[in-house]
A and B are shown apart, each in its own frame.
Chain A
Amino acid sequence: MHTASINSVEEGREVVFHVRSVSKSYQTGDVLIMALRSVELDLNAGEFVVFLGPSGSGKSTLLNILGGLDSPTSGDVRFRDHWLSEADDAGLTRFRREHVGFVFQFYNLIPSLTALENVALVTEIAENPMDPQEALRRVGLTERQNHFPSQLSGGEQQRVAIARAIAKNPDILLCDEPTGALDFPTAKLVLDVLARINEELHTLVAVITHNTAIGAMADRVIRLRSGEIVEVTRNARKARPEELVW
Chain B
Amino acid sequence: MRGRRDRRNLCGEFMTTLYRKLLRELVHMRGQATAIALVIACGVASFVAMRSMYRSLLRSQAEYYTQYRFADVFCELKRAPNGAADRVREIAGVAQVEPRVVMDVTMDVPGLKEPAVGRLISIAPKQTRGLNTLFLRRGRYVLPESDNEVIASEAFAKANQLEPGSQIHAVINGRWQKLTIVGIALSPEYIYEIRGGSSVFPDNKRFGVLWMSADALESALNMKGAFNSIVVSLQPHTNEADVIAQMDRILDRYGSLGAYGRSDQISHRFISDEIAQNRISATVIPAIFLVVAALLVHLSFSRLVDMQRSEIAVIKAFGYSNWQVGIHYVQFSLLVAAAGYILGCAVGFYFGIRLASLYAEFYRFPILIYRPELRTFLWAGLITAVTAVAGAAVAVRRAVSLPPAEAMRPEAPAQFRSRIVDRLNVKWISPALRMMLRNLERRPWRALASAFAICCSIMMVVVEFGMLDSLDRVMELQFRDVQREDITVTLNEAHSAQARFDLAHLTGVIRSEPFRAVPVRLRYQHRWRKTTLLGLERDSELRLIVDQNGNRIPIPPNGILISSTLANLLHVAPGQRLSVELLEGRRTVHELLLTGTVDDVLGTSAYMNLYALNRLMEEDHSVSGALLQVDPDKEKKLYLQLKRLPAVAAVSVKNAVVTSFKETIDRSMNLSIGTLMVFAIVIAMGMIYNGARIALSERARELATLRVLGFSRHEITFILLGEQALITLAALPFGFVAGYALCAVLAARLQTELFRMPLVVRPASYAWAFLIVLFAAVASGILVSRRIARLDMVSVLKARE
Q: Which residues of A contact B (CB under 8 A)?
A: 60, 64, 67, 69-70, 89-90, 93-94, 96-98, 100, 102, 104, 106, 108-114, 117-118, 120-122, 124-126, 146, 148-150, 164, 168, 176
Contacts and interface: CB of A to CB of B under 8 A. Distances in A.
Given A89-B713, A104-B797, A111 B708 contact: no
Contact of A122 (B412, B702, B707, B709): B709
A70 B794 contact: yes
Given A97-B709, A111-B416, 17 more contacts: A60-B794, A70-B793, A93-B707, A108-B701, A108-B708, A110-B702, A111-B413, A113-B434, A114-B418, A118-B431, A121-B706, A122-B709, A148-B416, A148-B418, A149-B416, A150-B414, A176-B797
Contact of B414 (A93, A96, A112, A168): A112
A112 B416 contact: yes
A69 B800 contact: no
A145 B432 CA distance: 18
A114 B418 CA distance: 9
Nearest to A157: B413
Given A96-B708, A110-B705, A64 B794 contact: yes
B710 A110 contact: no
B712 interface: yes
A83 B712 CA distance: 19
B417 interface: yes
A176 B794 CA distance: 12
Contact of B710 (A70, A100, A118, A149): A100
Interface stretch (B4-12, B243-251, B435-443): B435-443
A69 B793 CA distance: 7
A210 B47 CA distance: 63
Nearest to A123: B431
A126 B439 CA distance: 25
Given A93-B712, A98-B710, A122-B710, A113 B431 contact: yes
B709 A96 contact: yes
Contact of B418 (A122, A126, A146): A146
B430 interface: yes
A108 B797 contact: yes
Contacts of B431: 113, 117-118, 120-121, 124
Nearest to A89: B713
Nearest to A120: B431
A124 B715 CA distance: 12
Contacts of B713: 89, 93
Interface string B459-481: 00000000000000000000000
B415 interface: yes
Given A124-B430, A150-B414, A60 B798 contact: yes
Contacts of A98: 710
A230 B351 CA distance: 72
Interface in B398-449: 412-418, 430-432, 434-435, 438-439, 442
Interface string B237-261: 0000000000000000000000000
B439 to A, nearest CB: 5
Given A112-B435, A148-B417, A90 B710 contact: no
Nearest to A121: B431
Contacts of A168: 710
B435 A110 contact: yes
B711 interface: yes
A35 to B, nearest CB: 11
Interface in B153-195: none
B706 to A, nearest CB: 7
Contacts of B708: 67, 69, 96, 102, 108
B562 to A, nearest CB: 65
A40 B797 CA distance: 25
A117 B413 contact: no
B413 A112 contact: no
B705 A149 contact: no
Contacts of B434: 112-113, 117
Given A89-B713, A125-B711, A148-B416, A110 B794 contact: no
Contacts of A122: 709-710
A176 B708 CA distance: 13
A161 B710 CA distance: 14
A232 B82 CA distance: 124
Given A110-B705, A117-B431, A97 B416 contact: no
Nearest to A98: B710
Contacts of A120: 431
B413 to A, nearest CB: 5
Interface string B101-132: 00000000000000000000000000000000
B798 to A, nearest CB: 7
14 contacts: A93-B707, A97-B709, A97-B712, A102-B708, A110-B702, A111-B702, A117-B431, A117-B434, A121-B431, A121-B706, A122-B709, A124-B430, A125-B715, A148-B416
Given A112-B435, A113-B434, A150 B415 contact: yes
Contacts of A117: 431, 434
A208 to B, nearest CB: 12
Contact of A90 (B414, B435, B711, B712): B712
Given A108-B701, A108-B705, A113 B435 contact: yes
B703 to A, nearest CB: 9
B670 to A, nearest CB: 46
Contacts of B414: 111-112, 150
Nearest to B703: A110
A121 B709 CA distance: 9
A93 B708 CA distance: 8
B165 to A, nearest CB: 75
A106 B439 CA distance: 21
Nearest to B707: A93
B240 to A, nearest CB: 70
B800 to A, nearest CB: 5
Nearest to A96: B710
Contacts of A60: 794, 798
A60 B798 CA distance: 9
A171 B630 CA distance: 88
Please name the 4 residue pairs, one residue from A and one from B, whose CB atoms are nearest each other, closest first.
A97-B710, A108-B705, A112-B438, A96-B710
Contacts of B715: 125
A67 B793 CA distance: 12
Interface in B706-725: 706-713, 715
A191 to B, nearest CB: 21
A94 B710 CA distance: 7
A126 to B, nearest CB: 8
A70 B412 CA distance: 30
Contacts of B413: 111, 149-150
Interface in B675-722: 701-702, 705-713, 715
Nearest to A116: B431
Interface in B759-801: 793-794, 797-798, 800
Contacts of A149: 413, 416
A104 to B, nearest CB: 6
B787 to A, nearest CB: 15
A242 B191 CA distance: 98
A108 B796 CA distance: 10
A89 B790 CA distance: 11
Nearest to B415: A150
Contacts of B432: 121
A5 B221 CA distance: 121
A94 B418 CA distance: 33
Contacts of A125: 710-711, 715
A93 B710 contact: yes
A65 to B, nearest CB: 10
Contact of B709 (A102, A111, A112, A150): A102
A194 B430 CA distance: 29
Contacts of A121: 431-432, 706, 709
A156 to B, nearest CB: 13
A112 B442 contact: yes
Central interface residue in A96, A112, A121, by most chain B CB within 10 Å: A112
B424 to A, nearest CB: 14
